Copies of this chain bind each other. A is one copy, B any other.
Amino acid sequence: MANQTVSYLEVDRPTPECPVEVTLHALRGRWTTLVVRELLGGARTYSELAGALAVSDKVLADRLAQLVECGVVERSRVAGWPPRVSYALTPRGQALRGVLDALWEWGSHDCS
């Protein structure tokens, strides 16, 4: 995964478009990380995701479109009937695993 030597602190000017913002923008939305988490277990169809996540169609479709646009998820139609669509993580999406682990790590400590 390239070089890990660059630190968040080593950049001169904090702008709203810095890499940290890019990542948070990709993960934006209450259900986004849960969708990614599902797909880390392998490709899923739309209905499988809908069944696993108890989320409305609108929100699920919105988040999937967002993830596709960010290059995290790839969408593909499955031949045959009934029509199905499969969603899978791209290599870039797979790379989110480390990010989610870091978020999990910090959030699992007590706040007291």
Contacts and interface: CB of A to CB of B under 8 A. Distances in A.
A6 interface: yes
A44 interface: no
Contacts of A19: 103-108
Interface residues of A, number: 46
Interface string A92-112: 100111111111111111011
A67 to B, nearest CB: 12
A76 interface: no
Contacts of A61: none
A112 to B, nearest CB: 7
A20 interface: yes
Contacts of A95: 106, 109
Interface of A: 1-2, 4, 6-9, 14, 16, 18-24, 26-27, 30, 33-34, 37-38, 40-41, 53, 70-71, 92, 95-109, 111-112
| Cβ-closest 3 pairs across A and B | A19-B107, A22-B107, A102-B102
